[in-house]
Amino acid sequence: MVKRKSEDAQLGARAVNGKNARFAESPKANKPVKKSQTTKAAKFSTKPAVAKKEPKSEPKSESISIQVVTGSYERVLHGFAATIDEDVIGSEKSPEEQKEPTYSDTFLFAAHSSAVRCLAVSAPNEAHKRVLATGSTDERINLFNISTSPPVVSSKPQLPSLSATSIIENPRNKELGSLLHHARSVNKLQFPTRGKLFSAADDNTVAISRTRDWTVLSTIKCPIPKAVGRPSGDTAGPGEVPTGVNDFAIHPSMKVMVTVGKGERCMRLWNLVTGKKAGVLNFDKSLLQAAGEGRYSSGEGRKLVWGEDGEEYVVGFERGAVVYGMDSMPKAIIRPSPPTKLHQMRIVPAGEDKSIVAISTEDGRVIFYDLKTTVESEKEDEEVPQCAALGQLGGNQAGFSSRVKDFEVVQHKAGAPLTIVTASSDGAVRIWKCGLSDILAGAEGATRQVGTPIGTHETGHRITCLVAFVMDGPPEVADDDEDDVQDMPKEAGSDSDDE
């Protein structure tokens, strides 16, 4: 009993002497609610620290975002961003071992009242935006501002959709308006510089507009061809002559332009300094036959493209093409084997002393030709040699037989492998990777398969035209992250008020 009393006395003395100590320690311990908050904060603070350590241990892999815009017969303008790991482009893995790109729809709407015929995108400006111009058979040219910033994947749950792709809306993509200075369907659009827009239409005019205020500075009027006969496949009405500018190509010096039109077997050279005609060059009959034009073909030029160095230009016909020098003399003939119809021509960035043109075909191929190297023609009566075929991408051998209506060649940085985006009329947009060294390795003449498919995106529309560019602008902050940052102080304040 005596021991128990002494123990109770000691405990009471400790309780009296320790009051101040407990009150001094109470601000550190806080109330039970705050204890839970501090412990939760500690738990949440430790979890991100562990998550951040994991990427550091792994090799750094940056992603590349490519903005793809397609036009279709259904009047739909479809834009989506394809995000690809840089390791996928640089590695030599098989398609089964590669990581599939992620696709995010940025916009999808009916931009015109009829089919979309052509697209063009300008160089980026100081605000990291590009101007997108769309031409259609409804005589309109619609203009849009497209952001070059890569898409930001939101942490919020995605909206339910019928497709597997996510929907990311960018408020910086805006519509600018429409241009109505053409009286017929628009066939070609091009931004040779950031301040000028060239447009060609079936009204036999090439208009030059200023992008600062979209004023038409000049209009080049091509003469109406004479009615020689009814070419096959023309859409002119009874008693009318098929007219219109099919395509044009501007020299890198911005001083010379070449145009080809409907219903005439010639091309016209224009002096852009004075805006007047510089000359007319008729296509020789034997040259047309060597390029694959038959007796009942129209013989009109359909596509034009200048070489990278400006020393030669290519005139594309229905089943072949002819390479001309600066003296307007034919240098070589491009004729794909097996014979097929041509759809689009693009220049491949190959560097100095090299000039490579890529041509898409009806049988699902993209064939690369060297404009500097020629081989002897198979036919003895042909005086003009043929261009050397370096390689082909796709086709029946690779399992892709649908025609390539349009394509684009992009390169995210100097010296990196090429990324080729192809659009088929069945609605499939395919992304390929292809090294420039692989293309140049086939210069001896044997056509071989080059490139590796990375991914395929089904649009569900019959595609007519396509443009693509690398989204190299500064990344943007997701909207939901900003909301969370703004809401956090309010939640903390409400908890303190409740206490």
Q: Is the torsion defined by CA of 40, 46, 49, 51 positive or negative?
A: negative
Please check whether residue 298 is in contact with residue 263, taking contact to mean a CB–CB distance below 8 angstroms: yes
Predicted confidence at residue 218, as pLDDT, reads 93
Helix axes 2-17, 19-29, angle to 10 degrees: 50
Predicted confidence at residue 395, as pLDDT, reads 86
Predicted confidence at residue 30, as pLDDT, reads 45
**C-alpha angle with apex 195: 194 to 199, nearest 5 degrees?**
95
Predicted confidence at residue 204, as pLDDT, reads 92
**Radius of gyration over alpha carbons of the chain, in Å?**
32
With b meaning 16 or more CB within 10 Å and e meaning fewer, what string describes 328-357? eebbbbbbbeeebbbbbbbbbebeeebbbb
User: Strands 303-306, 312-316: parallel, antiparallel or unpaired by DSSP?
Assistant: antiparallel
In order of their start, the domains of the chain are 60-232+241-481 (2.130.10.10)
Residues of the chain with pLDDT under 70: 1-61, 90-97, 153-164, 227-240, 378, 380-381, 442-447, 476-499
CA atoms within 13 A on the CB side of 451: 28
Closest CA to 73 of 459, 359, 407, 468: 459
Predicted confidence at residue 128, as pLDDT, reads 87
Which residues are 424's β-sheet partners? 404
Q: How many CB atoms lie within 10 A of CB 146?
A: 23
pTM: 0.79
With b meaning 16 or more CB within 10 Å and e meaning fewer, what string describes 271-293? ebeeeeeeeeeebeeebbbbbbb
SS3 content of the chain, % helix, strand, coil (to 5): 20, 40, 40
For residue 338, whether the previous peptide bond is cis, meaning omega lies within 30 degrees of 0, is yes
Predicted confidence at residue 250, as pLDDT, reads 95
